[in-house]
Chain A
């Protein structure tokens, strides 16, 4: 369980995160949705403790990351914004290094790596050096090393960026599996479809503030709109929102929402 309470972060005069609060349950996928620059990555960095909040706190299973960072990080697996691998190490060696840093013993670590290789379909690349990996292959290794210690809580910053359709589908299956295992998953995205396809709870961020929160159905009810993309745009723009498409027949809107792209 990840609990975020009134997080604040400013860089100079720019307020990047402004009183952001939300909680992410175990056994659920919570999505941070927002346009670029909404404060998603900054919020996540405060959750995994690389940014120190100006005010407020983030706790992992009740442990304040700013106060006891190492204890909190043991309970957390994070795929941060930067996801570089060591190009001269093989996929397996990359993952093994992070397992060692989490203090895993040799035999369980090797078993866990084999499990992840199987789970993320990395058998072909496991013993190749990372230098020539494709985006998708790199992402698999980056995800494997972030959860090598089997953390109860998993934070993924824009996990689908740069992936092709097949890889995205595989990744979704993987994330749902984490949920089925009872883990708490938080992911960020600026892609509406991504979030609506995966998340049980959505937190919409705009200009560093939480502008909406709830299940996809609750958000539709809140804004009185059917298409989630419209919901997203309306929440982001606030008072400046105008329905570009004019009033549409209710049935038509429903169709657009199922199609998932929201435009006629």
Chain B
């Protein structure tokens, strides 16, 4: 046991002094939350109704009725810029409503009057304003149309055979899930990245430096040696995952999402549950990384394998995010897939049984132990010790 601790302490000290190990530990805790809040802020701004819209109108005097209607819908009518097209092109204004001079005459004679919304369709950030103005104008047109039909003694609903009403059953929590899905993905990636460098450095790196041969001549069992190295990598991986979760939640607190009908808050219990679900995965991920790195001929080759392995958690993560498939029981038995299914259930606020936690944790531990034993066996092989 003291030998195992000696290996663990040495690897920990060695990694803490290594800039690259620290970088892989801190990469996701720093980058993840930033990405998250940028994506979220963007999405929120596009979806949200614009608070008070300033609408430049040209020819406002031609349609006092329409202008009054627009103003009653929380839109402030302002004078148009001198050069309308130029102002749109230079993005000085988002859109301009143009009411032609013959509007009044056409309106009075019950012919279709034409108004223009001048805008730039290639600017996605103005789309919500355009949609809003268009909706207001059309609402006004519909109201006037209904009155005209009524004046001719006909029920207005005759002219409106079908009406569509959207019934939104999503809860604020479910709407938020789209974004919350990103959290487990970041945490999983952090578990992969965090211990990656320590796992590589203590196996492929050890051999490349020429310190593996003396190390293996010392009277420590291969298994204990691998266990000690693995524990050090697990500390880094677990710390990275925990930090990422903490930083992401902190960053989320800064985004005012509640106003837009989304609830992004996770209860402290749920945060704990995310960690309970992910930390066993660190055990497995580090063991698998050490196994793969031991096979590599060089440190460079090991690093290539590691970056390919990072893609692994992205696959189910993306599938879950883009296509919310139902999580099935068998998934819990597969390390990595099990953790992701578990996290998905937690994030969506669906009930998770304690059995599910146990099963995913145990399957990850078992897989980790297998990887450790195989790695220990590799370190008895001449080809592995001397790098072929």
Q: A interface vs B, CB < 8 Å? A: 48-52, 69-71, 73-74, 76, 78-89, 93, 97-98, 100-103, 142, 145-146
Q: How far is the CA of A52 from the CA of B210 in the complex (A)?
A: 20
Q: How far is the CA of A227 from the CA of B2 in the complex (A)?
A: 53
**B322 adjacent to chain A (CB < 8 Å):** no
Asked if A83 and B214 make an inter-chain contact with CB atoms under 8 angstroms apart, the answer reads yes
Q: Point out the residue from B13, B215, B385 that lies within 8 Å of A89, measured CB to CB.
A: B13
Asked if B219 and A73 make an inter-chain contact with CB atoms under 8 angstroms apart, the answer reads yes
Given known pairs A101-B6, A101-B220, A102-B218, the reply for A82 and B211 (CB within 8 Å) is yes
Given known pairs A101-B3, A102-B219, the reply for A50 and B213 (CB within 8 Å) is yes
Tell me, rounded to whole Å, the shortest Cβ–Cβ distance linking B297 to chain A: 15
Q: How many A-B residue pairs have CB under 8 A?
A: 78
Nearest CB in chain A to that of B216: its residue: A50
Q: B interface vs A, CB < 8 Å? A: 2-3, 6-7, 10, 13-14, 17-18, 209-221, 382, 385-386
Q: How far is the CA of A102 from the CA of B215 in the complex (A)?
A: 11
Asked if B217 and A50 make an inter-chain contact with CB atoms under 8 angstroms apart, the answer reads yes
Interface majority SS (helix, strand, loop, mixed), chain B: helix
Asked if B217 and A80 make an inter-chain contact with CB atoms under 8 angstroms apart, the answer reads yes
- Measured between beta carbons, the chain B residues less than 8 angstroms from A87 are 209
Best-buried of A48, A83, A84, A146 by chain B (most CB within 10 Å): A84
Q: How far is the CA of A81 from the CA of B212 in the complex (A)?
A: 11
Nearest CB in chain A to that of B218: its residue: A101
- A-B CB contact pairs (8 Å), 19 listed: A48-B217, A49-B217, A50-B213, A50-B385, A51-B382, A70-B221, A74-B219, A78-B217, A82-B210, A82-B213, A85-B209, A88-B17, A89-B13, A93-B10, A98-B214, A100-B3, A101-B3, A102-B218, A103-B219
Q: How far is the CA of A82 from the CA of B7 in the complex (A)?
A: 20
- Measured between beta carbons, the chain A residues less than 8 angstroms from B3 are 100-101, 103
- Measured between beta carbons, the chain B residues less than 8 angstroms from A146 are 214, 217
Asked if B209 and A84 make an inter-chain contact with CB atoms under 8 angstroms apart, the answer reads yes
Nearest CB in chain B to that of A103: its residue: B3
Given known pairs A50-B385, A51-B382, A84-B209, the reply for A98 and B14 (CB within 8 Å) is no
Given known pairs A50-B382, A70-B219, the reply for A142 and B214 (CB within 8 Å) is yes
